[in-house]
Amino acid sequence: MITEYKAHQRGFTLLEVLIGMSIMSIMMLLLFASLRICVQNWNAGEKKIAQVSQAAVIQNFLQSKLHATVPLDGDFLEEPEFSFQGDQSQIQFVAAMPASAGRLGLQRFKMSLRRADRDEQGSYLQVEIQPFFPQDEGQQGIEEPIVILKKIHSLQFAYFGSDSDARNNDPVWHNDWLEMDSLPKLVSIDIELVDGEIWPQLVVALKIDSTFGDTKSDSSFGIVGGKFVSANESE
């Protein structure tokens, strides 16, 4: 009886096995393809978030410092000079550092575009800081230039204001602002990176109150100990 039952049992034919393996292979291929697409999208999303975060930090730093610019002259120096000077590739102005930076008094900021080394692409934006007023003993002096942005394809400053030497004093955009008796009303910054990413144009209004003591600035970002950090990181 048992022998007769076993004789009537059927197994899978070779064709059925091949069809089953083919279906399983297609399912595994689709599964791995979906996983690969998910990983690529995840990596692309993280890269985009990092790019947006970098742009926000750099632009907030530029905006906060330019917004705090004060219109001072350098008549007290051995060689008098204007505190605000700028052209298309660099800008110099005077502003205060946040208290957490440990640098008292007004500081002269010089932001300039420099060509990168041969092993790096594009250019980089560096910041030089030094006290604007003569230093007292024990006060921190000039720091080494700090690089705040690398791999720049193009960076351009522009200045909106009235040219005192021109007959028509209506404010217009200028490619440079050199040896002017007043600050420009606006400063614009256009940045394009080597990977083709174009940052939104940053336009900063140089708002100075009637008295120097009322000058307000956002000190959320600064340079502390030779590093570009936010106020939260420096605490």
Beta strand extents in the chain (DSSP E only): 85-86, 90-96, 106-115, 123-131, 146-161, 172-174, 186-193, 202-205, 221-224, 227-230
Question: Residue 123 pLDDT > 50, yes or no?
Answer: yes
Report, as an integer, the average pLDDT of 150-170.
Answer: 81
* Residues 63-82: tens digit of each pLDDT: 888 888 887 655 555 555 56
Give Cβ neighbours of residue 191 (< 8 Å, ≥ 6 apart).
Answer: 149, 152, 154, 155, 198, 199, 202
**Strand boundaries in 74-219, DSSP class E:** 85-86, 90-96, 106-115, 123-131, 146-161, 172-174, 186-193, 202-205
pLDDT of 221 > 80? The answer is: no
Q: Are 155 and 124 contacting, i.e. CB atoms less than 8 angstroms apart?
A: no
Is pLDDT at 222 greater than 70 in this prediction? no
Rounded mean pLDDT, 18-39: 87
Tokens representing 164 are 């005192």
Which range of 16-20, 101-105, 197-201 scores highest in mean pLDDT? It is 197-201
Spatial separation of the C-alpha atoms in residues 203 and 185, rounded to whole Å: 10
Residue 166's pLDDT is 56
Q: For the residues 202-220, what does the mean pLDDT come to?
A: 57
Q: Cβ distance 191 to 200 under 8 Å? A: no
pLDDT value for 135: 60
What's the whole-number mean pLDDT along residues 209-225?
43
What is the distance between the alpha carbons of residues 189 and 86, in angstroms, rounded to a whole number?
Answer: 12
Q: Is the pLDDT assigned to residue 118 strictly greater than 50?
A: yes
Residue 180 has pLDDT above 80, yes or no: yes
Task: Enter the tokens of residue 191.
Answer: 């940045």
The Cα–Cα gap between 73 and 83 comes to 6
**What is the rounded CA–CA span in Å between residue 140 and residue 226?**
12
**Radius of gyration, alpha carbons of the chain:** 30
Mean pLDDT (whole number) for 175-179 = 89
- Rounded Cα distance between 98 and 163, Å, is 32
What's phi and psi for 121, nearest 5 deg?
-90, 150
Average pLDDT over residues 137-162: 80
Q: What is the DSSP letter of 98?
A: P
SS3 117: coil
DSSP helix/strand/coil, 13: coil
pLDDT (mean) for 98-110: 75
Q: Of the ranges 20-24, 43-47, 74-78, 214-218, which one carries the lowest mean pLDDT score?
A: 214-218
Residue 146 per-residue DSSP state = E
Q: Among 22-31, 103-112, 202-211, 226-235, which range has the highest average pLDDT?
A: 22-31
**20 vs 104 pLDDT, higher one:** 20
Count the Cβ atoms, other than its own, within 10 Å of residue 61: 22
pLDDT, position 73: 56
What's the confidence (pLDDT) of residue 8?
A: 56
Q: What is the pLDDT of residue 99?
A: 65
